[in-house]
Structure 1
Amino acid sequence: MTAQQQYSAKLREAGDAVDLIENGSAIVAPTGVGEPPTILEALSENRTEFRGVTVSQILPLRPFGYLDPDTVEHVRHVAYFLGGPTRPGAQAGWVDYYPSYFSEMPALFREGLLPADVVVAMASPMDKHGYFSIGLTPDYTMAALERAKVVILEVNPGVPYCYGHCHVHIDQVDAIVEDDRPLLEVGLPTIGPVQEAIAGHVADLIPDGATLQIGYGGIPDAVVMQLLEKRDLGVHTEMIGDGILSLVEAGVVTNRRKNVSPGSMRATFGLGTRKLYDYMDHNPALEMHPVDITNDPYLAGSHDNLHSINGTMQIDLLGQCGSESLGVKPYSGTGGQSDFVRASNRSRGGKAFIVLPSTAKGDTISRIVPTLSPGTHVSTSKNDIDHVATEFGVVRLRGLSARERARALIGIAHPDFRAELTEQAEKLHLI
């Protein structure tokens, strides 16, 4: 049977495709915009026909109907990383979550420690050789595909066909659903004066020829906007977005000076606008790979001059970062922050930046604190922390004693809180 004949035989309506899902199945969906809306809507509409089914992914973007506390015995979300639609459920207790480093998720699937009975994913149209690209999000999805008993692809002409290890052959697919709705678009975050000030401190420390990992958020994207005068930057990152694309268009990112995969960028998921998705399509200057290739600290750290930029919500005077919870309340997830902090620390000439505004809630709360709020999930440890930047400056904590760290962090705290932080540091015998 030819590839096209197989395609025709496997083409189904979404409701018929989800009939392949058995009770008790663990469904894996890709990160963000790679989630297949037609399939997950059909699952939602028929959720009471199932029992004991779970759906897991990183950063869900749509409030699907199965995200319902009244039907969790039928279909429950178990998150790898929370998004807006799943955060309330996690904080209320009816959405569960898996803690893990992003880079280690493929190994967890292969070892059977994370379940993957069914994979559902967005895919590009099939090429003449019978291959689809899931280049928007190969992340952990490629490893889950190896374990899955059922694979259902949602083919959309708007999904870019990417290069790298991100292809699925028709032989691996059990059902195909077609849809042509526009892909979700996520624009750049709002950038204000605080973000610009923080970005300025970081940008000054990024040399020409550096290789970048840029996290999502207003401050990382503000840094991007202040790199337009740099030369020959490279990209090896977790997420590629419109911020990095703007550096490519400006001729700032050339990848010429990368000592690993020179001439091309590597990422594990795309999240941006239609302009980005068009750029990703059939572009030999970009490779989309699973996350154990992009985020593994050893592999990523083999890049010279790797500079990573990621945000946090709170940091204590030892340098511990709480980036994924508000006290005991889960907010996001582990993600790749720790992966790239450790990678940058390994990199020859590398730097890892953790960035945050000095305050929250209208300057009434300091984000630099004596100790993390009780129950806070530690994302980057005191042993891994390198540079920290607020709008009041940037300090390097790596290699400093506890006493020196406390003084350095108090120095970039908001002036209104420095006296209080000093008093608390004295009580803790840090200074």
Structure 2
Amino acid sequence: MHLVFGMRRTPPELPFAPSGHFTIGTFVPGRGLRGIAPISYHRKSYEGICAALVSGEFRPDVVITCATPPDEQGRRTLGGIVSYLDLAMARAGRVVVEEVAWLPYIAGSAPVPDDCEVLAVRPAPTGPTVGFSADHDEIDARVAAHIADLLPDRPRLALGIGRIPDALALSLAGRGDVEVLTGVVTEAVAGMAADGALADATIRSMSVVGPPSLLLWAAGADVVLSSSTTIQSPSWLGGQDRFVAVLGALSVDGAGNVNSERIGSRTVSGLGGAPDFARGAAASANGLCIVAVRSSDAHGKSRLVDVVEDPTLDGAWVGAVATEHGAVRLTGLRPAERRRALAAIF
């Protein structure tokens, strides 16, 4: 049996250790799965996962997920998610759900098959929830300020999970013209709504991830979920004017190629939707792919490197890079000009 995990904040409680008969893989290695060894990294973006499901390359036998309580017609949904799970459930032999008593329906959430098996009912949480990212600091705020200066009027913004995206959300308070078109709605997006950053437009995403308060907010707000086949489609995103993707990095080379997966030989994150958003933003009229990164790591080592091998993002998709020292636009620059421009902000 091969068990494939999606994004996790906390380690799973496994009944036994991985072995020759029981193996574990994931599309998103990271925080909740770092203690599991061995683990296989299935290196696909969300668009790639969808393509693998459609082609049959990836065909799950069982999908295990959370779901809402049944409505008056006895129907359940995934509550705050569509992602690629709509495709996975349609192709799986069995769908097993954990019913979450407090989980609301958010517009567009994927319906669960009527013949699903209900494994258990989870009550409302009683303790604090674990966030995906640590609190941002002054350096993150300076990076965010430089990103804000790059945004066009009325941007359609893809904002990910992390310290810099959280800081950026705060820096846009009162702006009033930001539309959200993103992979995941986080507490930062709810904060933007409260702070007057958002335009009067539907928030579009493939998921809402956070504490119960966030999902309950999204259920009552103008939030509409769609499948990864749309939200993570570079061609569809490229047709959205002023689409701006703000993406994180662990290192960048002089050509603008980006690594957001590896620290040394250790894989700490997955492709996620980054390549899909980057390609879409690069193709969008007045759009922009912005890579946001602190100039050095926790040990003071520069994140500007000679060469990024097997990059997460091709430098051709990257329109700008921002650090705490400034931001540079790379579009149209020759290779030597790119290297000099990047060296000035690292």
Q: TM-score, normalised by structure 1?
A: 0.76
Alignment of 1:31-430 (within 5 A): 53-66=1-14, 70-89=17-36, 94-171=38-115, 173-182=116-125, 184-186=129-131, 189-254=134-199, 256=200, 263-281=201-219, 283=220, 285-363=222-300, 365-372=301-308, 376-413=309-346
Give a deviation string over 1:325-345, Cα, whole Å, max 9, x none: 123321111111111111111
Separation in structure 1 between the aligned mates of residue 187 and residue 47 of structure 2, nearest angstrom: 23
Q: Bigger relative contact order, structure 1 or 2, given CA contacts below 8 A and separation 6+?
A: 2
Give a deviation string over 1:139-161, Cα, whole Å, max 9, x none: 11111001111111111122121
Percent identity over the alignment is 26
For 1:6, the equivalent position in structure 2 comes to none
Whether the aligned pair in 1 keeps the contact of 2:24 and 2:39 (CA below 8 Å) is yes
Give a deviation string over 1:177-227, Cα, whole Å, max 9, x none: 222142955276311111111111111122341111001111111111100
Which aligned segments of 4 or more residues in structure 1 are displaced greater than 6 angstroms?
none
SS in 2 for 1:170: coil
SS in 2 for 1:245: helix
Higher helix share: 1
For 1:14, the equivalent position in structure 2 comes to none
Residue identity opposite 1:395 in structure 2:
V
Residue identity opposite 1:233 in structure 2:
V
Residue identity opposite 1:297 in structure 2:
P
Q: TM-score, normalised by structure 2?
A: 0.93
Residue identity opposite 1:209 in structure 2:
R
Larger CA Rg, structure 1 vs 2: 1
Give a deviation string over 1:330-389, Cα, whole Å, max 9, x none: 1111111111111111111111110111111342x11011223xxx54100122111101
**Higher mean Cα deviation, 218-227 or 377-386?**
377-386
Whether the aligned pair in 2 keeps the contact of 1:327 and 1:377 (CA below 8 Å) is no
Separation in structure 1 between the aligned mates of residue 337 and residue 24 of structure 2, nearest angstrom: 44
Shift in CA distance, 159/66, structure 1 to aligned 2, threshold 3 Å? same
SS in 1 for 2:150: coil
SS in 1 for 2:338: helix
SS in 2 for 1:279: helix
Residue identity opposite 2:281 in structure 1:
S
Separation in structure 1 between the aligned mates of residue 320 and residue 26 of structure 2, nearest angstrom: 30
Structure 2 residues without counterparts, runs of 5 or longer: none
Separation in structure 2 between the aligned mates of residue 55 and residue 214 of structure 1, nearest angstrom: 29
Shift in CA distance, 137/165, structure 1 to aligned 2, threshold 3 Å? closer
Separation in structure 2 between the aligned mates of residue 276 and residue 169 of structure 1, nearest angstrom: 26
